[in-house]
Chains A and B, each alone.
Chain A
Amino acid sequence: MDNGQIEAWERDAAETRQAVFRARGVTKVYRMGQLEVHALRGVDLELYQGELVVLLGPSGSGKSTLLNILGGLDVPTDGHVWYVGHDLTEDDDAALTQFRRRHVGFVFQFYNLIPSLTAKENVALVTEIARNPMRPEDALEIVGLGHRMDHFPAQLSGGEQQRVAIARAIAKRPDVLLCDEPTGALDVETGIVVLEAIDRVNRELGTTTAVITHNAVISRMSDRVISLSNGHIHGVDVNTEKIAVRELVW
């Protein structure tokens, strides 16, 4: 796809679909002891309503930092991020917490479940503070874990744990679902099951979804692929031949 096509597609998308996120000149510099690490160097991007985007890049390319900033977990050193016209970079910590609480669902590479709570209770953690949540049981049904609700994380396989994490993320009916290497710690087969769950949420609930991965294969299930390296976006591809998750092989 050449640049002309992309522009055309983006114009088209902008007319028909609303941009959920818009980032301009986002820069992030970390201080690690004596070191200054430039994680992001002036990133511009849009995420549109209902699409499934893959942020693709090698380790250290800045994709996790970008995702954290979009999700209000972190703030950029410079630049702006708008969520449906609202500038997140103006928000203080409390406002960002409210933003996450109402709009964002997170899925992490290492699941980050609370080990002392069962699958259902982990999901309930979110439903208890959300405005219009689904029942934890229903969220677990969506990810195919209706029968494992009362198991503790330690009693679940990695794939199951990640699906609980997805259930936990979607139970609040978030506007956006942000997944950071959701299959990073999983084998292929389990990874497929998890991606299927994400895909299903995106399709059935229409949740805008961003998936971070360093695995290029996964980008084939997405609507668009944004490639990062060294803190820059070096390409945005519209996936015209989106394939079913089942058919992914890596």
Chain B
Amino acid sequence: MSSLDRKLVRNILQMKGQVIAICLVIACGIGAYVMALSTMESLRGTMERYYVRYRFATVFANMKRAPLSLSERMSSIPGVAQVYPRVVKDVTLDIEGFPDPAIGRLMSVPDFSKPPLNNLHLRSGRWMEAGHGSEVLVSEAFADAHHLKPGDTILAILNGRKKELTIVGTAITPEYIFEIREGDILPDEKRFGLFWMAYTDLASAFDMDGAFNNVVISSTHTASMPDIIRHLDDLIEPYGGLGAYAREDQISHQYLNNELHQLESMARVVPSIFLSVAAFLLNVVLSRLISTQREEIAALKALGYTGWEIGWHYIKLMALIVTAGTILGTMVGAWMGNGLTNLYLAFYRFPVLEFRFDAWVIVSALAISLVAGVIGTFAAVRQAVKLPPAEAMRPAAPADFKPSIMERLGLDALFSQTARIIIRNLERRPLKAGLSVLGISTAIAVMVVGGYMKDSINYSIDIQFARSQRQDVTVGFVEPLTTAAVYEVEHLPGVRRSEPFRSVPARLRSEHHSRRLAIQGVQPGGELFVPMNIDGKRIPVPDDGLLVSRVLAEILHVQPGDYIEAEVLEGRRPHLRILVSGVIDDFTGLCAYMNIDRVHELMQEQGDVSGAYLLVDQDQVPTLFRQLKNTPRVAGVMIKKAAVESFEDTIAKNLMTIQMFNAIFGTIIAFGVVYNSARVSLSERSRELATLRVMGFTRAEISIILLGELGVLVSLAIIPGLFMGYGFVWWSSLSMVETELFRIPLYVAPETYGRAVLTVVIAAVISGLAVRRRLDQLNLIAVLKTRD
């Protein structure tokens, strides 16, 4: 090791506190980068391989009932590679020891072969045998949630008849990597499960022999998706087609894609924040180091070292710190990525989800952090390279001070000498002070972001499930029923109040923009379902026309007063022109509400209903559920409390982890910035402070000068930090709005702001005290002897 390298190592050891602080900041950024990127790559790679190997379809469509011969005609649509017609039926399940009604989605598989598309991956047991009548494969998530294993049986109501299904195995499918029912916001593995049954058995149970009601299609690479969908829609139209859609609109795929998006934006945003802070800290620390080593640099130059050799020496110092931070960050990132991948396994069902960690992630992490390091240290190193040796031999000229703005304004009488020292010092280098403030603000902002997810989800749950949806249970019917059914439901045990709704599947169109959804006919002035804005404002359902979600209005490019085309995909399938009379800024992206009476008029029907919202007596719930499970016409029951609880069990727990990590991240930034600023101030001013001590100032008094400056910086950082936090929140919410599945509102609880500020202030105080300890140990004589 050369002597210069030895100097480098010892310099690092000397500033170990500062070096550790910077390393940690870099490690946070690189950790987030490595975690997000490698998890994203793992997830994306696994997903793509899974899709290819298990032949995940690209086009999907539901209809009422079509003859199998129709699939031949589908095959001849240009661009279609393979057509796989299925029978898919949702049924009510009755599981032993589980009082709530659950929904099972029964899907047919070919009798004697594996599904040609959306193939299954068998997890346990065996494939079912056709002709046995009741053998099923069950989705792994549902089986896990209910501890079901091959050999167990489960009761289901198939076409009005109770039937015992025998589980012969568990399986997963690329179609439901994320097992959620269309239209649901939250997954609920206990109350929604997938079942696969041989075609013959399923078709005969539902009188669908020789027919199908669901089709999945794979397309050639060059196929035009809109053309296929248009052709397909034309074909299924006479058979009660509910509109074909592409993989992008498939719910499980949408969730996965959304997750990948978020990881990608995380891999971009988080590291840029942390590495900016690290670059700033490197700049502060290295500038100071170079200015204290001014004479050493001059001596080295006098000895014949070139400017480049000296510059390289300091670049190596930076590179060492950055590399150490990157290695630490990579290890932490790999560890967190592995953890996150395992966490995903609870939500996403893959044959294998291996955490993959590519070398290029490390290489790019190192490259990115080195670039940040070079940006941060460029000016300081340049200063060292350019330093004229003869000039550097002489002590640096006293810093150029000016009366501060306060004094120029004539307010100087208000300030003590100590306060003047603080103010002038801050004012002398406004850029440095500004960047310090920015750094501390960032710490606050990072903590605000950490709390935001939880806040806004709690807020959403409150608005959505406590104030807007006031029902306890939502009952959906297999097919629209007459008002008599409502009367029947109203008289179920424990039902205190019921409000019917009419849900009509339709394709809404405005010029070339269109979306498939269900027009929800609700009772105006209803008390169980109250359409509400994200800010909690009630939006009444208009007497006439549609009330549409803001996101939907944006997608369709319509505003109140415009007319849209509605192709109803049910009944006599009318094509209607409907007035958009209002826009609602709600949580779920694609809703269209209408007065239930207007829906009846448009459909030319006598008060048909699709389901009802129920308010129930909690004591009677078990009896009600028992009864509902035995009601053949009930297709699904959504229990609000259970959905919220299951959500809180899973997602909320993860959010706590995220919040904790952000708290650690914020503390590290706060500590890094404050500690480094304090150490640098101490080093710059130890001579001045020692002089004051010699003159008779107490330790407390000189501490005020040093820590007062930090106090001012921290105080100045609070307000911008809160604004920046809100800005970050806004920024990160941008990447979610586009999902259409749900929206996370921009809501930050006051406690979150408070906690962010408090944590940063505490971190600042601790860093300040650590430096103050050094101030107490100031060796007056030694300090005064040093020339700088």
List chain A positions with a Cβ less than 8 A from chain B.
Answer: 32, 64-65, 68, 71, 73-74, 93-94, 97-98, 100-102, 104, 106, 108, 110, 112-117, 121-122, 124-126, 128-130, 168, 172, 180
CB distance from B138 to the nearest CB of A (A): 69
A114: chain B residues at CB < 8 Å are 3, 7, 296, 299-300
**Assembly CA distance A104 to B3 (angstroms):** 20
Contact A126 B303 (CB under 8 A): yes
For A180, the chain B residues whose CB sits under 8 A away are 393
* Chain B 273-304 near chain A by CB (<8 Å), digits 1 or 0: 00000000000000000000001101111111
A112 touches B296 (CB 8 A): yes
Asked if B222 is at the interface of the complex by the 8 Å CB criterion, the answer is no
- Tell me if A116 and B14 are in contact (CB < 8 A): yes
Docked pose: A227 CA to B388 CA in angstroms: 27
Please state if B3 and A100 are interface contacts (CB–CB under 8 Å): no
Residues of A within 8 A of B451 (CB): none
With a cutoff of 8 Å between Cβ atoms, the chain B residues found around residue A65 in the complex are 390
A125 to chain B: which residues have CB within 8 Å? 3-4, 300, 303
Contact pick for A68, options B10, B295, B300, B393, CB 8 Å? B393
B304 to chain A, nearest CB (A): 3
Q: Are A68 and B6 in contact (CB under 8 A)?
A: no
Q: A190 to B409, alpha carbons, bound, how many Å?
A: 55
Is there an interface contact between B3 and A108, defined as CB atoms closer than 8 Å?
no
Interface residue? B787 (CB, 8 A): yes
Is the Cβ of A97 less than 8 Å from the Cβ of B301? yes
B residues with CB within 8 A of A: 2-4, 6-7, 10-11, 14, 295-296, 298-307, 309, 388-390, 393, 397, 787
Determine whether the beta carbon of A129 is less than 8 Å from that of B299.
Answer: no
Bound Cα distance A73, B301 (Å)? 8
> With A110-B787, A125-B3 as given contacts, are A117 and B10 in contact (CB-CB < 8 Å)?
yes
Q: A108-B299, A112-B295, A124-B3 are in contact. Are A74 and B304 (CB under 8 A)?
A: no
Find out whether the CB atom of A106 lies under 8 angstroms from the CB atom of B302: yes
Q: Is the CB of B304 within 8 A of A102?
A: yes
Q: Are B3 and A128 closer than 8 Å at their CB atoms? A: yes
Docked CA distance A125–B303 (Å): 9
27 CB < 8 A contacts A-B: A64-B393, A73-B302, A73-B393, A74-B388, A74-B390, A94-B306, A100-B302, A104-B302, A104-B304, A106-B303, A112-B296, A112-B393, A113-B299, A114-B300, A115-B296, A116-B6, A116-B7, A116-B14, A125-B3, A125-B4, A126-B303, A126-B304, A128-B3, A128-B4, A129-B304, A172-B304, A180-B393
Residues on the B chain within 8 Å of A32, using CB: 397
Q: Which of A65, A97, A115 has its CB near the most chain B CB atoms (within 10 A)? A: A97
Choice from B2, B14, B299, B307 contacting A128 with Cβ under 8 Å: B2
> Are A122 and B390 in touch, CB under 8 angstroms?
no
A130 CA to B309 CA, complexed, in Å: 14
Q: In the complex, A126→B788 CA distance in Å?
A: 25
Contact A98 B787 (CB under 8 A): no
Report yes or no: B303 in contact with A168, Cβ–Cβ below 8 A. yes
A124 vs B390: C-alpha distance when bound (angstroms): 23
Given the interface contacts A112-B295, A112-B296, does A73 sit within 8 Å of B390 by beta carbon?
A: yes
Complex alpha-carbon distance, A141 and B11, angstroms: 28
The one of A73, A116, A168 in contact with B389, judged by C-beta atoms closer than 8 angstroms, is: A73
Given contacts A32-B397, A100-B301, A128-B3, 15 further A-B contacts (CB under 8 A): A104-B302, A104-B304, A108-B302, A108-B393, A110-B787, A112-B295, A112-B393, A114-B296, A114-B300, A116-B6, A116-B14, A124-B2, A125-B3, A126-B303, A129-B309
Chain B residue numbers with a CB within 8 Å of A130 are: 304
CA distance A90 to B389 in the complex (A): 18
Return A93 CB to nearest CB of chain B, in Å: 7
B101 to chain A, nearest CB (A): 75
Given A73-B390, A128-B3, A116 and B304 contact (CB-CB distance below 8 Å): no
Contacts of B4 in A (CB 8 A): 125, 128
Least CB distance from B435 to A in Å reads 28
Most buried by B among A32, A108, A180: A108
Known contacts A125-B300, A126-B304: does B10 contact A116 (CB below 8 Å)? yes
Contact (Cβ within 8 A) A117 B304: no
Which residues in A have their C-beta under 8 angstroms from that of B388? 74
Choose one: B10, B11, B299; the contact of A112 (CB below 8 Å). B299
CB-nearest residue of chain B to A68: B390
A116 — which chain B residues lie within 8 A by C-beta? Answer: 6-7, 10-11, 14
Bound CA span A100–B306, Å: 10
A125 CA to B296 CA in the complex, in Å?
12
Q: Return A108 CB to nearest CB of chain B, in Å.
A: 7
When the two chains form their complex, are residues B304 and A100 in contact, meaning their CB atoms are under 8 A apart? yes
A98 to B4, CA, bound (A): 18
Q: Smallest CB-CB separation from B391: which chain A residue?
A: A74
CA distance A32 to B771 in the complex (A): 36
**Complex-state Cα separation, A110 to B296, whole angstroms:** 11
Asked if residues B295 and A110 are in contact (CB atoms below 8 Å), the reply is: yes
Q: Which residues of chain B are near A117, meaning CB under 8 Å?
A: 3, 6-7, 10
A11 CB to closest chain B CB (Å) equals: 34
Give the chain B neighbours of A97 by CB distance below 8 A. 301, 304-307
Q: How far is the CB of A110 from chain B (nearest CB, A)?
A: 7
**B residues less than 8 Å from A106 (CB atoms):** 299, 302-303
Give A129 to B310 CA distance when docked, in angstroms: 13
Q: Evaluate contact between B305 and A129: CB separation under 8 angstroms.
A: yes
Complex CA distance for A130 and B2, rounded to whole angstroms: 13
CA distance A93 to B301 in the complex (A): 11
A115–B294 Cα distance when bound, in Å, is 13
Closest chain B residue to A97, Cβ basis: B306
Instruction: For the complex, give the distance between the alpha carbons of A218 and B160 in Å.
Output: 118
B3 touching A122, Cβ below 8 Å: yes
CA distance A229 to B787 in the complex (A): 26
Closest to A120 in B: B3
Distance in angstroms from A206 CB to nearest chain B CB is 21
**Contacting residues, chain A, for B10 (C-beta < 8 A):** 116-117
Known contacts A116-B7, A117-B3, A128-B2, A93 near B302 by CB under 8 Å: no
B638 to chain A, nearest CB (A): 70
- In the complex, chain A residues whose CB is within 8 Å of the CB of B306: 94, 97
Query: Could you say which residues of chain B place their CB within 8 Å of the CB of A126?
Result: 303-304
Collect the chain B residues with CB atoms within 8 Å of residue A128's CB: 2-4
Q: Which residues of A contact B6 (CB under 8 A)?
A: 116-117, 121
CA distance A82 to B397 in the complex (A): 32
Nearest chain B CB to A102 CB, angstrom units: 7
Closest to B386 in A: A93
Q: Which residue of B lies closest to A125 (CB)?
A: B3
Chain B residue at minimal CB-CB distance from A32: B397
Q: How far does the alpha carbon of A116 sit from the alpha carbon of B300 in the complex, in Å?
A: 13
- Of B7, B300, B390, the most chain A CB neighbours within 10 A belong to B390
* CA A126 to CA B299, docked complex, whole Å: 11
